[in-house]
Amino acid sequence: MSTWEATGVGSHPGDDHLEAIRVVFGEVPGLPYLPELPARGVGADLIGRTASLLVDLPVEVQPSGWRIADRPGRDHQRAVDHLRRDLDGLEEIGHDYEGPLKLQVCGPWTLAGAVELRHGDKMLSDAGAVRDLTASLAQGVADHCAEVRRRLPGVTEIVLQLDEPGLPGVLAGTVPTASGFGRLAAVEEWRVEESLRLFGEPVVHCCAPAVPFALLRRAKARGVSVDASLLRRRDEEELGELVEAGMTLFLGVVPGAGNRLPDLGAIARPAVELWRRLGFAPDELAGRVVLTPACGLAGASPAYARAALAACRKAARVLKDDPAGGEG
């Protein structure tokens, strides 16, 4: 896995999808991904983009946000069109690529906390609706992965990333109702574990505090993607168990936006120090940790987004060459 070295979380600035794809393949060639450009508007955002993959669950935009619709309409079609253009661009730029490819979609629990039922509250309020949503999403994601494989026959494996920034709130019972005046009931951990297994062995990205590491390990996730600055000392025992179970840690070490990037030693340092505290052998670090920006890059300038990915890749080389110190 050390060939992965570095990758991005998913979102990019601007509206030029071809340029974003070129940047990804150029700067993180070990594990490139299909970037998302939410600045393009309705249907290019995380929720709309993923909702376009749902099977037999069309969506539309209301003043309050995305909602299940009776039939596919303009909003649904716009989201489908955005994704189709992105896949066309991926095929054009990556036609001769050989290696792994990462695809990101919104996870079922964050999606259920964002999409509303036709006449009522968020889907998260109805356990049956969540089951239907999860099954529809799992089928849609499988179809999406199959289409990418068909378009890019040189892809050796697809690394599926489920974006679940809302998961800690789902488990804690802090997700607001559609009215905003109440909170939806906390969801039992076993329900979340069961649902995540429908997606094979995904990498779960959560750029919020209180990531449920033990739950993700039990759910057989392939890896977790987190913001290094949000990790707490009490997370480290669970992180150690995660690594011992063979999971990969995608560690966000570069700010998602800014004017200047830290030097390579400072970028690598959180990974080196965490690894040291966990007590693992330094020479295993580069093969078990993938460096990423702390979260998506949608709020950055295009120049910063490119530089952030390049810095992650260069810092990963530091980990490989000097795993005990990470300075250089």
What confidence tens digit (pLDDT) does each residue in 142-159 have? 999 999 999 999 999 999
Question: Residue 157 in contact with residue 100, Cβ under 8 Å?
Answer: yes
Averaged over 226-243, what is the pLDDT? 93
Residue in 227, 222, 212 with CA at minimum distance from that of residue 245 = 222
Which H or E element spans position 105? strand 99-106
Q: How far apart are CA 273 and CA 246, in angstroms?
A: 20
The model's pLDDT over 90-103, given as tens digits with 9 standing for 90+, comes to 999 999 999 999 99
What is the CB neighbour count within 10 angstroms for residue 92? 12
Tell me the CA distances in angstroms from 123 to 66, 69, 116, 178, one per residue in order: 11, 13, 5, 10
279: left (phi over 0), alpha (psi -120 to 50) or beta: left
* CA–CA separation, 304 and 246 (whole Å): 33
Is the torsion defined by CA of 88, 92, 95, 99 positive or negative? negative
Pairing of strands 65-68, 59-62: antiparallel
Q: Is the pLDDT of residue 43 over 60?
A: yes
The answer on pLDDT for 248 being more than 80 is yes
At residue 325 the predicted structure's pLDDT band, cuts being 50, 70 and 90, is low
Report residue 179's pLDDT band, with 50, 70 and 90 as the boundaries: confident
Domain boundaries, the chain: 41-201+210-220
pLDDT in the model for residue 320:
85
Quick one: how far is CA 106 from the chain centroid?
7
